[in-house]
Structure 1
Amino acid sequence: MSVVAARRDAQRDRWIPRLARLALAIVLVVGTFGLAFAAMRRDTGVILGALAVSAILIVFSLLGILIAGRKHNPVGLIFSAIAVAAAIQLTADDYILRANVTDPSSLPLVVYAEWVDRWIGAAALALLPLLFLLFPTGRIPSVRWRWVFRAWAASACFWVAGFMLTPGPLDVGNSDHAMNPFGVSFGSVLGFVGGVGLLLTALASIASLFVRWRHGTGEERQQLRLLVFVAGVGFVCFWLSGVPGPISGVGWAGFLLSVFVGIPAAIAIAILKYRLYDVDVVIRKTVVVGVLAAFITAVYVAVVVGLGSLFTDTLVLRIAATALVAVAFQPVRDRANRLANRLVYGDRATPYEVLARFGERVGETYASEDVLPRIARVIAEGTAAARSDVWLRLGDRLTLAASWPVAEPRASFAIEGDELPPIDADRVAAVRHQGELLGAIAVTKPASEPLAA
């Protein structure tokens, strides 16, 4: 990579998290106006619904910040952009409802709110092919797919411009059917060309997702499998929605279900179950902090408030509560860490169970070439490591003999005396017999989880 290209990539990496944080700010500001409009309706159900939607959009925005910030991944910006578009459209809907129905003529510039409401949802929908093309790495599968990205960019611009510029009444929800203030005669042509282009690029993007899945290995295939299925079903349902007759309604319902339920669910499973983007670190730390906060609050309430009715010296009670928290903090923290690990990473074998399982497996009869891979697997499962390697000394070189997950062999390292050469891993343990170096075991943990003792 040239110096210019590296500098360009570094500059892009700096802007990705900044844009994600800007998107969160927009969601918060626009969402506040939306909540204000919902509160004006004085309907508890509407207010609770608005709060729930706002919480979902904030979660989307935070997820975008997490992905964009930790991985410098443009997929995070797609999440952020969808949250911004949804917040704007929902707020515009409430604005239009109040201006035209609830309190007519009470708000100005309603025609521009209707104009924004007309195209903002289409802009969000146009991001789906890009999501399929970039997911999960944030880059196209290879340079051969660059034309798909370029075609998508042009098609998306034409598609959104068509909604912006098509003349005629603005037929949106609760609209007074005002005429498009920016309508031009060729607006519908732009929309048609963009729509056809988006269909073709969506099909190509789904194909690229399938190619990633076919060429992926191990956990990457698991991360992509459900999204490939949902994307394919959604595209088929979209085509069926254009067939005359009853099948049209079924196809459209299936398409909407795929877009608003299937795709978010598939991505959520990839993120939460298969640890995509290392989001589990946020969940884990949130659980630990929540348990510690609940413990400190409970101690303070029990000692200061509960016993305060019996003793008048509250200073002594506060000191006692602080001392109790200080003494019990570390044990509670250890328990909170174990609880968070179990919630986030599932059941994990204890060190004793790892040793017992190790003895059972080694004691079974295996072909000699199976022993070391099984050792690597037991170590990885017992420590919840992302990778474990077993190295053997062969003469004056240290060679990778087995790993889990299975990976291509690496180049061996030269050994000077009995000193272990540097190995790229979180923890490396030398295996020696009577001082002689026989090999090593290396463990690499996910970036989201420290190596526990």
Structure 2
Amino acid sequence: MASVAAGVCLGLGTAALWLATTTPNPYGAVANAQLTKVFAASWTLVFGPIGLLILTRRAGNRIGWVALALGFIFAFNSITSDFSTLSGGPASDVGLTLELVGNVGWLMWVLLLGWFLLLFPTGHLPSHRWRPLAWGLAVWAPLYMAAAVLAPQSMSAGAPTPNRYITISGALGEFLNIVLTVLNVLVLPVIIGPLIAAIVRFRHSRGAERQQLKWLAYWAGLTACALVVSVVAPNPATILIANLSILGLPITVAIAIFRYRLYDIDVLIKRTLVYGATSAAVAVSFFLGLVALQAALRPLTSGSEFAVAASTLFSFALFQPIRRRVQDEVNRRFDRSRYNATRTVDAFADVLRDEVDLDELRADLIGSVQQTMAPAHTSLWLRERIS
């Protein structure tokens, strides 16, 4: 069954990718929209194999089925969008119908993403208390689909424009408008609920499960940053990075579930924090130095080459001191045990330079070992010198 589903996903993904590269962009001259459309079609080619791999190696983990379903939905929406464009778009009946089918498909994406957050990484809910939310998602999505298609008002909540799709008028239509309004109000808990479940699971997790959730949180943080940058400064490079970061989700899930180099995530997080904060601090110092030097040198020189060169040298000189300071702060906040151990060893090294009494050195050494390694028992044996 899983192999058949994965084969269907790969077939649909291949067709979606071919259509995305050959079909005109439905958004006209919107910058970088074609690149995003191609990446959206290719998501299926990544989610499908990862889902099959999870179901093959971890048969009881429902995340595999969620990954396959996500791949199917991505391909389905991409294909319907391209066929809608080829059929004349909303101006034709066929194009309007295909657009409706694609819009309904995106609601399934919200449902599956919510289930993913509820089930990751074990494939089971964090506890039985979250079962009503899982069932609520399953009920909310089809109800929203039906109300959005049939209600007289637009699919956008509260929009005054009439629904372009099939509508029901009269008392039943007014009732559907009320239902759609209520379902739109429930969008926020539908989105936030699974996020809270993932946070609660992380707070109560230990060992390998906690590391698995760290991988997901790391991916989410990087992707959020990439998406913000692509919105603030849209260009082919930022759009490419944002789409590549989204493609990292199934890869991150595979690393977490199969526990491949699972504990390397702590090193990745710390290095990202250190070099990210250091780069930001150096960039701020560069621009502040550039502005200050240009203002100071404007009466003396009309060019800014000297100011740029001086700011560059100043920022370069600051890099290592800032990196060390940031790394110490990150270790102090996120790796307290290692930070304390390093401080203890440094303090003992200072004692070695000045202390000459053997009994005092023995006591200091035993104290340092107890603070850094916390053994159940500590003893020190020194061989007496034979005269």
TM-score by length of 2: 0.49
More helix by share: 2
Query: Is the strand fraction higher in 1 or 2?
Result: 1
